[in-house]
Amino acid sequence: MLSFVLKRVAYAAPVALGVSLVCFLLVHLAPGDPLSAILPVDATAEMQAQMRAAYGFDKPLPVQYGLWLWKVLHGDLGTSIATGRPVAAEVGRAVTNSLILAAVATLIGFTFGTFFGFVAGYARDSWLDRLASAVAVFGVSVPHYWLGIVLVIVFSATLGWLPPTGAGPQGSGDWWPDAEHLRYLVLPAITMSVIPMGVISRTVRALVGDILHQDFVQALRAKGLSEFGVFRHVVKNAAPTAIAIMGLQLGYLLGGSILIETVFAWPGTGFLLNAAIFQRDLPLLQGTILVLAMFFVTLNLLVDVVQTALDPRIQRA
Amino acid sequence: MRPWSFRSPILGLVLAAVLALPAAAQGVLRIGMTASDIPLTTGQADNGGEGMRFMGYTAYDALINWDLGSADKASELTPGLATAWKTDPDDTRKWIFTLREGVTFHDGSPFDADAVVWNLDKLLKNDSPQFDPRQSAQGRTRIPSVASYRAVDPKTVEIVTKTPDATFPFQIAWILMSSPANWEKQGRSWDAVAKAPSGTGPWKITTFVPRERAELTPNKAYWDKARVPKLDKLVLIPLPEANARVAALRSGQVDWIEAPAPDALASLKAAGFRIVTNLYPHNWTWHLSRVEGSPWNDIRVRKAANLAVDREGLKEFLGGLAVPAEGFMTPGHPWFGTPAFKVKYDPEQAKVLLKEAGYGPNKPVTTKILISASGSGQMQPLPMNEFIQQNLAEVGIKVDFEVVEWNTLINIWRAGAKSESARGATGMNYSYLIQDPFTAFIRHAQCNLAPPNGTNWGSYCDPEMDKLFDQVRTTFDPAAQTAVLRKIHEKFVDDALFLMVTHDVNPRAMSPKVKGFVQAQSWFQNFSSISMDK
Residue B25's pLDDT band, with cuts at 50, 70 and 90, is low
Q: Of A47-51, B168-172, B458-462, which range is least confident? A: A47-51
Residue A85 has pLDDT above 60, yes or no: yes
Q: Residue B9: what pLDDT?
A: 46
Mean residue pLDDT of chain B comes to 91
Report, as an integer, the average pLDDT of B285-297.
97
Q: Residue A5: what pLDDT?
A: 78
Q: Residue A314: what pLDDT?
A: 62
Q: Comparing A24 with B91, which gets the higher pLDDT?
A: B91
A275 touches chain B (CB under 8 A): yes
Contacts of B33 in chain A (CB under 8 A): none
Q: Residue A246: what pLDDT?
A: 81
Q: Which residue of B has its CA nearest to A166?
A: B212
A152 touches chain B (CB under 8 A): yes
Residue A315 has pLDDT above 60, yes or no: no
Q: Of A42-51, B35-44, B255-264, B279-288, which range is least confident? A: A42-51
Residue A169 has pLDDT above 90, yes or no: no
Q: Of A279-288, B23-32, B480-489, which range is least confident? A: B23-32
Q: Which of B37-46, B378-387, B510-519 holds the top average pLDDT?
A: B510-519
* B59 residue type, one letter: A
In angstroms, what CA-CA distances link A100 with A168, A181, B527? 13, 11, 37
Mean residue pLDDT of chain A comes to 82
DSSP string, B161-175: ESS--TTHHHHHTTP
Residue A264's pLDDT band, with cuts at 50, 70 and 90, is confident
Report, as an integer, the average pLDDT of B17-27.
51
Distance (Å, whole) CA B91 – CA B383: 52
Q: CB distance B215–A171 less than 8 Å?
A: yes
Q: Residue A253: what pLDDT?
A: 77
Is residue B241 within 8 Å of A263, Cβ to Cβ? Answer: yes
Q: Residue B374: what pLDDT?
A: 76
Report, as an integer, the average pLDDT of A218-240.
82
A157 touches chain B (CB under 8 A): yes
Residue B6's pLDDT band, with cuts at 50, 70 and 90, is very low
Is residue A156 within 8 Å of A163, Cβ to Cβ? Answer: yes
Share of chain B above pLDDT 70, in %: 95
Residue B3's pLDDT band, with cuts at 50, 70 and 90, is very low
Give how far B295 is from chain A: nearest CA, Å: 26
In angstroms, what CA-CA distances link B509 with B248, B257, B293? 11, 5, 46
Q: Report pLDDT digits (tens) over B368-377.
A: 999 988 777 8
DSSP-derived letter for residue A142 is: S
Q: Residue A236: what pLDDT?
A: 82
Residue A37 has pLDDT above 70, yes or no: no
Of A55, A114, A72, the residue nearest A286 (C-alpha): A72
Report, as an integer, the average pLDDT of B465-486.
95
Residue A41's pLDDT band, with cuts at 50, 70 and 90, is low
Contacts of B452 in chain A (CB under 8 A): 45
Residue B2 has pLDDT above 80, yes or no: no
Q: Residue B366: what pLDDT?
A: 97
* B385 residue type, one letter: N
Q: Of A16-30, A65-79, B136-150, which range is least confident? A: A16-30
Q: How many residues are recorded in chain A?
A: 317
Give how far B337 is from chain A: nearest CA, Å: 28
Contacts of B241 in chain A (CB under 8 A): 262-263, 265
Is residue B527 within 8 Å of B278, Cβ to Cβ? Answer: no
Residue B42 has pLDDT above 90, yes or no: yes
**Largest Cα span, chain A:** 85
Distance (Å, whole) CA B54 – CA B520: 14
Q: Residue B488: what pLDDT?
A: 98
